Structure 1
Amino acid sequence: MQVLVRDNNVDQALKFLKKKMQREGIFREMKLRSAYEKPSERKVREKAEAVRRARKLARKTAIREGLIAAPKPKAPVGMRRPAAPKV
C-alpha cells in the first residue's frame, strides 16, 4: 500500500493511510490475527459474515427494484437539532 506525502504534510498522509487501511479491512484482520481463533469459532464467524453480506445485497436489490423504501439520508452534522437538556 502506498500513500504520497504532499508538501511534507505527514499528518494528512497518515490520516489518508489510516482511512485506506480501514476501507481495506486491514485493522479488522490484524485484530482477528492477534489471538488464536478456534476452527469452530472461525466457521461461526464466517457464516455470520456471509449472512450479513447476503442480507445487505438483498436489501440493496430490493431498494433498487422499489420493493422497499430507501432509508432517509442523515442530516449534515451542522443541520441537526441540538439534544434537549436533561433535567
Structure 2
Amino acid sequence: MQVLVRDNNVEQALRVLKKKMQREGIFREMKARRSYEKPSERRNREEAEAVRRARKAARKQAVRDGLIAAPKKKPLVDRRAPRPAPQAAAQNKSDQGL
C-alpha cells in the first residue's frame, strides 16, 4: 500500500493511509489475529456474518421493489458553518429572565 506525501503534509497522508487501511479491512484482521480463534468460533462468526449480509441484501432489495419504506436520511450538517458561541446563548437566557 502506498500513500504520497504532498508538500510535507504528513498528517493528511496519515489520514489517507488510515482510510485505505480501513477500506481494505486491515484493522479488522489485526483485531481478529490478536488472539487464537477456535475453528468452531470461526464457523459461527462467519455464518453470522453471512446471515447479516443476506438480511442486508434482502432489505435493500425490498426497498428497491417498494415493499418497505426506505430509511429516513439524516440531514446534512455543514461542519464549516459558524456556530454561535456558548456564552452568547447563556447571555440570551439571562436577558430573558430564565
Same fold (TM over 0.5): yes
User: What's the offset of the Cα at 1:52?
Assistant: 0.6
Give the structure 2 partner of residue 2 of structure 1: 2
Q: Which secondary structure does the structure 1 equivalent of 2:4 belong to?
A: coil
Kindly provide the amino acid, as one letter, of the partner of residue 34 in structure 2: S
Q: Which secondary structure does the structure 2 equivalent of 1:59 belong to?
A: helix
Aligned residues: percent identity? Answer: 78
User: What's the offset of the Cα at 1:76?
Assistant: 2.6
User: What's the offset of the Cα at 1:77?
Assistant: 3.8
Give the structure 2 partner of residue 33 of structure 1: 33
* Structure with greater Cα Rg: 2
Give 1:1-87 correspondences, 5 Å limit: 1-77=1-77
User: What's the offset of the Cα at 1:43?
Assistant: 0.5
Q: Deviations over 1:31-77 (max 9, x none)?
A: 00111000010000000000011111111111111111111111234
Question: For residues 2 and 66 of structure 1, what CA distance do their matches in structure 2 show?
Answer: 43
Question: For residues 57 and 41 of structure 1, what CA distance do their matches in structure 2 show?
Answer: 24
Give the structure 2 partner of residue 83 of structure 1: none
Question: For residues 4 and 63 of structure 1, what CA distance do their matches in structure 2 show?
Answer: 40
Range with bigger deviation, 18-27 or 46-55: 18-27
Equivalenced residue count is: 79
Unpaired runs of 5+ residues, structure 1, are 79-87
User: What's the offset of the Cα at 1:24?
Assistant: 1.5
TM-score normalised by length of structure 1: 0.83
Unpaired runs of 5+ residues, structure 2, are 79-98
